[in-house]
Amino acid sequence: MSIPEEIDFEVDADDLSPLAADARPLGAPSLVVDDLYITYRVFGGKRVGAGVGAPPSLLKRLLGRGRTHVGGVTSVEAVKGISFVARHGESIGIVGINGSGKSTLMRAIAGLIPPTQGAVYVSGDPSLLGVNAVLMGSLTGERNVMIGGLALGLSPEEVREKFDDIVEFSGIGDAVYLPMSAYSSGMGARLRFAISAAAVPDVLMIDEALATGDAAFRKKSKDRIDAIRDQAATVFLVSHSLATIESICSRTLWIHQGKLVMDGPAAEVCAAYKAFVKAQDGASR
Amino acid sequence: MRAVAQASGLRQMGVRPPLTDYVRSLWARRAFIRTLGQAKAYARNQGSYLGQLWSILNPLLNSLVYVFIFGLLIKTTRGTENGIAFIVTGVFLYRFFDSSVSTGANSLKSNMSLVRSVHFPRAVLPISTTITELTTLGPALVVMVLISWASGFIPSQGEVPFTWRLLLLPVAVALMWVFNTGCAFMVARWVAITPDLGNVIPFALRFVFYASGVLFSVDHYLKDHEALAGVLSYQPIAAFLDIGRQAVLNDPVAAPLDLTMWFVALGWAILFLVVGFWIFWRGEERYGRD
Ligand SMILES: Nc1ncnc2c1ncn2[C@@H]1O[C@H](COP(=O)(O)OP(=O)(O)OP(=O)(O)O)[C@@H](O)[C@H]1O
Ligand SMILES: [Mg+2]
């Protein structure tokens, strides 16, 4: 399958009002990532070798097979030595192919996955909005708003105060009193976004959370992101839609196989990434 | 890089905070702990027509099984005045410990999606699982007391009247909860770092079950082994079962009112909580990576 010039499921043309982002003055550093390494420990897998050279001997193969079932621990290096500095008021897009380490990097910045090596320094409490920010499916949306809000560090009173706002913003109406397992994926995503956006963090990270929303919701969430950015916070946006990135972000990082390949203005990096994807697509045919 | 970060007053993420800060941030999340624990307990009984009624029916059915097998078929309760009440109290309190440890052990793994999406002191999770167990225990305790009381009307069984000592039952349960939380902290860390231990825990728990006099009176069966009986009746689980029985039963032989046992239980509770919390905190920077 060839990739057309513009694949764009996420942003409507009229959403693409150019932002005055570049004109915004940049503040003090809000995030420093210093030579970050993240290694996952994976059980019950096998590291596939480079695939070159002579086929392994029978004995080795047998041993190797055994190790998948007994004592099979592999480590997956998801992030390998990334460093950068982000400033207040900046909105940074992150692009890269599947499995390149974008979500892992976001989680490490949010303090959810402790670094194997290197360090992350952040101002205030960073918060991550992700597609897999699963709340409790068997409970109603209402309970989940409470749990999610408390988890973010709000007090019960604050959550109750913001409850109407959250429901209003999510736009799911009375469905908030149904168990979340009865939600469509878009409804779940809306509620999760609304909950996480209730607390205004210094560093907000959005990991493909906008992808499932409909046009109206994307517009709303874009406005909310702009509002958060106006409060001098830093916003990270991980997305496979380059149009979204180009419309929201002023700066973009391109990550490939856990390494930072390019860091610069959104338009430049997106163009380079697009060229790369096209080249890959050409090579695979 | 580090200098830049320090100059602008940034905080390092993903490192273990000092113990006092950790305790403070945990205290700040107390509403979260309670809400999460109670929500889980509520979710347990969902997805059935009878819904929350199961929180009563479950312990009721459970105790019927034990009473039938051990109280009527296999008589293990020699040396007690009322075997049925003895077994029911033992089983209910032991189940509180058992389920706290086994769900506590998996508390990080079963909440991995929460761990990977929101940042909070991870000690929230073991505590909230023991809160879940405590919430589940609430209705079960009522069933337990009522069954014990009702069994007093069976001619062969001693009477179990309601006395002022029932007021001690919440104290006993509270102490046991503190102890369970300490245990949950320990196993939560061990299982998070070495998942294989999760498979060993059920066996350890079964061993403790038989060594704690849940179904029989340790003092009665080990009359001739002074030393062993001493160890077995002052070990933590036996101590907690004993103070629970002191509160419910009217049994001057198997569970006489004995203040020293309450202090032993208090000691165990504090010791396990402090040590367990410390062990858990030491692993804080590793939770969530694997
Ligand atoms: N929970 C996990 N356990 C083990 N390895 C993981 C885990 N999550 C991700 N990985 C590995 O880390 C690497 C990076 O994954 P990551 O989820 O960060 O990619 P991504 O850039 O977000 O991809 P996508 O675009 O598909 O969302 C992958 O090689 C993946 O195999
Ligand atoms: Mg991802």
- Residues in B closer than 8 angstroms to A38, CB to CB, are 289
Q: Which residues contact B7 (CB under 8 A, 6 or more apart)?
A: none
- Residues in B closer than 8 angstroms to A179, CB to CB, are 46
A12 has a pLDDT exceeding 50: no
For residue B50, what are the CA distances in angstroms to A176, A267, B53, B241? 23, 58, 5, 31
Report which of B187, B240, B246, B181 is spatially closest to residue B212, judged by C-alpha positions.
B240
User: How far apart are the CA of A102 and the centre of ligand 2, in A?
Assistant: 6
Q: Which of A28, A112, A114 sits opposite B8 (nearest CB)?
A: A28
Residue A79, min C-alpha distance to chain B (Å): 12
Residue A143, min C-alpha distance to chain B (Å): 8
Q: How confident is the model at residue A30 (pLDDT cuts 50, 70, 90)?
A: confident
What's the CA gap between B250 and B149, in Å, rounded?
10
User: How far apart are the CA of B286 and the centre of ligand 2, in A?
Assistant: 21
A25 has a pLDDT exceeding 70: no
A253 has a pLDDT exceeding 90: yes
Q: Which residues contact B231 (CB under 8 A, 6 or more apart)?
A: none
Share of chain B above pLDDT 70, in %: 97
Q: Whose CA is nearest to atom 8 of ligand 1?
A: A104
Supply the pLDDT for residue B286.
84
Average pLDDT, chain B: 87
Report which of B169, B146, B142, B147 is spatially closest to residue B84, judged by C-alpha positions.
B147
- Residues in B closer than 8 angstroms to A111, CB to CB, are 13-14, 119
What pLDDT, in 10s, does the model give residues B152-165?
Answer: 888 777 788 888 88
Q: Which of B6, B10, B39 sits opposite A147 (nearest CB)?
A: B39
- Residues in B closer than 8 angstroms to A114, CB to CB, are 14-15, 285-289
Question: B118 vs A133: CB contact, 8 Å cut-off?
Answer: yes
* Local structure of residue B13 (DSSP, 8 states): E
Per the CB < 8 A criterion, the answer to whether B120 and B32 are in contact is: yes
What pLDDT, in 10s, does the model give residues B55-90?
Answer: 888 888 888 887 787 767 766 666 777 888 888 888
* Local structure of residue B18 (DSSP, 8 states): P
- The full DSSP string for chain A is -PPPS---SS--GGG-PPPSGGGSPP-SEEEEEEEEEEEEEEES------S-SSPPPHHHHHHHHHHHHSS-EEEEEEEEEEEEEEETT-EEEEE--TTSSHHHHHHHHTTSS--SEEEEEESS-EEEEETT----TTSBHHHHHHHHHHHTT--HHHHHHHHHHHHHHHT-GGGGGSBGGGS-HHHHHHHHHHHHTTS--SEEEEESTTTTS-HHHHHHHHHHHHHHHHTT-EEEEE-S-HHHHHHH-SEEEEEETTEEEEEEEHHHHHHHHHHHHHHHHHHT-
Kindly list the domain boundaries of chain A, sorted by start residue. 3-130+201-284
Task: State whether the Cα torsion A249-A216-A101-B6 is positive or negative.
Answer: positive
CATH of domain A3-130+201-284: 3.40.50.300
Interface test with B, best of A34, A35, A90, A121 (most B CBs within 10 A): A121
Interface test with B, best of A26, A30, A31, A32 (most B CBs within 10 A): A32
